[in-house]
Structure 1
């Protein structure tokens, strides 16, 4: 019971409300079945999708300059600076941004996928362009668009090798990949989570595993890029030093063989010069070889180790759409709307 503006009690007459609803009961018997049928037609037309995910913990180069006070303060807020602070230019927090790079996304086009029934075996690019189910209204819209689209727009072939010069269709596929693949990094633990979505459960799992491998390759290549450059540099120096040493050794050997019994001081002096030059070349070659071996060891040292915290499992049940929840929600919404319409006279009067 409530009071109106004149401080008179306002009584809610349930009998009057029931009478109003009974008078409009035909609306329930007509509208609710129609809403049920339309909701079923709509939700059954939307293809079901599956989700799979995995968690990956990469090795991180921790910075030794973290202050104890700052680290303790960060820990009190749930952040582990020891895991997040790194000497790399690309912080782990930036790994999700790789999905915005066409180079990384286009690199996923050639992933080989096989559907759960084994009927389709193709690249991920072909799977997205040729083996996707769509609602009937989307098919109708695409057919109409295809009538007015230019030849270049409808071409599905890869016309460019440059991932930053994509055709319209390729750009659409790249955006579809971005919608189906998500990379997230936990701020506290730096654990990388890769989530994938696809209309086939086996494709979903394969995609998650493949993205993990591509991400590992990217991280490894980045972490070892400078060390690999140094390795190639010292390898080139070793090759040059070895060639110079072999030339010097041949000159010394030829001269020594030709002047074995010579006693002239000038000839012995030249032989000593050639021997010293050969020894100098050998020392240089030995030094460069040591540097080269150290550079190779540095590459191995910089190569990060990866720990799979949670592997990608083949999903058993589709994730969305939630058909029963959608239909029930539409019925509840329709019931509320009919009820409000039936009681509008009482509502407006009050």
Structure 2
């Protein structure tokens, strides 16, 4: 009993190595086949390019103390600035815009051009007509079209309602969500836009276009209430001006018609008209002042954007990583062959070692 307890099983590497060498022809057969098939597969996958940019929007600080606390909290990964803002949409929600069909459909009409100049169209047509795909993918799509049901779609529905897309348009929208991403750094609030395409110039164009549309969205949202106030005071000022013009013309006409009249009742009416004209002029002046203040408020609420890193035309493709893929498949094939050789001879590789 004691002798059995003192014996430990250990793997004899010499036996393992000998077994592998005895079956080395399996490696010589499998490895070249895997290498050739891996190269054939990965060469059929179209290359893609990636371009990104970083954008820093203007942030409102309520107080210097709040800014100090926010800076301290950001070092620990907390965004106090987004909690202090009075906006319903804080910067942390900007990446969620890619989930909105309205924002995605707005990207359909982006004008794109390939680096070689052969492709010049909008983004929607580029995704539907100018995409390279593996031969098996084209075959599968052709088969799907044979069995696909006809779509019922209202003409121009994507323009009138981005939330009533056809099946094809919805598929293109999903492809755009995969190719374009918006992310934000919680510590610095820097927005990063990344675009992917099969052409290096097109992916840069996409990143710049998304940046412009994001800036327009942020600006429109931040200034929406101020623009409503501006339009409101503009209408009030216009109405006050009309009322003042009518009162001024009525007073002038009455004063011209009763220049030499000495009756007290007529002079009293003239004074009433003059007072009414003055009141309406004061109202017009006040509304004009409010209108000018509202216009200034729109400019004040308009955020400034700092381009931290501009989008560049990529020189090298971002994917697929062909060499890594082939090496990885060869390693998996080697491991698979080794497991196949050793799986039925595991007990032979252990020896009893006395302690």
TM-score, with length taken from structure 2: 0.91
Q: What's the RMSD between the two structures over aligned residues?
A: 2.3
* 1:48–1:76 distance in 2 versus 1, CA, 3 Å: closer
Question: What SS is found at the alignment partner of 1:151?
Answer: coil
For the residues of structure 2 that align with 1:68 and 1:40, how far apart are their CA atoms? 55
For the residues of structure 2 that align with 1:213 and 1:76, how far apart are their CA atoms? 30
For the residues of structure 1 that align with 2:325 and 2:11, how far apart are their CA atoms? 33
For the residues of structure 2 that align with 1:199 and 1:72, how far apart are their CA atoms? 40
- CA offset at residue 81 of structure 1? 2.6
8 Å Cα contact 1:84/1:92 also seen in 2? no
- CA offset at residue 91 of structure 1? 0.8
* 1:148–1:15 distance in 2 versus 1, CA, 3 Å: same
8 Å Cα contact 1:83/1:189 also seen in 2? no
Structure 2 partner of 1:232: 231
Q: How big is each residue's C-alpha offset from its partner over 1:86-141, in whole Å with a ceiling of 9 and x where there is no partner?
A: 12110110001110111111111111110111110111111111111111221111
Structure 1 partner of 2:194: 195
Written as runs of structure 1 = structure 2, the 5 A alignment for 1:1-350 is 6-8=5-7, 10=9, 12-64=11-63, 71=70, 74-75=73-74, 77-79=76-78, 81-82=80-81, 85-152=84-151, 158-160=156-158, 161-349=160-348, 350=350
For the residues of structure 2 that align with 1:271 and 1:25, how far apart are their CA atoms? 118
For the residues of structure 1 that align with 2:67 and 2:206, how far apart are their CA atoms? 41
* 1:144–1:80 distance in 2 versus 1, CA, 3 Å: closer
Question: What SS is found at the alignment partner of 1:54?
Answer: strand
* 1:25–1:266 distance in 2 versus 1, CA, 3 Å: same
For the residues of structure 1 that align with 2:224 and 2:241, how far apart are their CA atoms? 26
For the residues of structure 2 that align with 1:152 and 1:189, how far apart are their CA atoms? 46
- CA offset at residue 53 of structure 1? 0.6
Which range moved further: 25-34 or 78-87? Answer: 78-87
For the residues of structure 2 that align with 1:46 and 1:69, how far apart are their CA atoms? 51
- CA offset at residue 84 of structure 1? 6.3
For the residues of structure 2 that align with 1:164 and 1:300, how far apart are their CA atoms? 32
Structure 2: state its 5+ residue gaps: 351-355
Structure 1 partner of 2:353: none
8 Å Cα contact 2:51/2:314 also seen in 1? yes
For the residues of structure 2 that align with 1:319 and 1:287, how far apart are their CA atoms? 61
For the residues of structure 1 that align with 2:312 and 2:103, how far apart are their CA atoms? 24
For the residues of structure 2 that align with 1:305 and 1:71, how far apart are their CA atoms? 20
- CA offset at residue 317 of structure 1? 0.4
Question: What SS is found at the alignment partner of 1:97?
Answer: helix
Q: How big is each residue's C-alpha offset from its partner over 1:268-311, in whole Å with a ceiling of 9 and x where there is no partner?
A: 11111111111111111111000000000000000000000000
* 1:136–1:85 distance in 2 versus 1, CA, 3 Å: farther
For the residues of structure 2 that align with 1:177 and 1:137, how far apart are their CA atoms? 22
TM-score, with length taken from structure 1: 0.93
Q: How big is each residue's C-alpha offset from its partner over 1:296-349, in whole Å with a ceiling of 9 and x where there is no partner?
A: 000000000000000001111000110001001111110111112112233144
Which range moved further: 339-348 or 279-288? Answer: 339-348
Greater relative contact order structure (CA < 8 Å, 6+ sep): 2
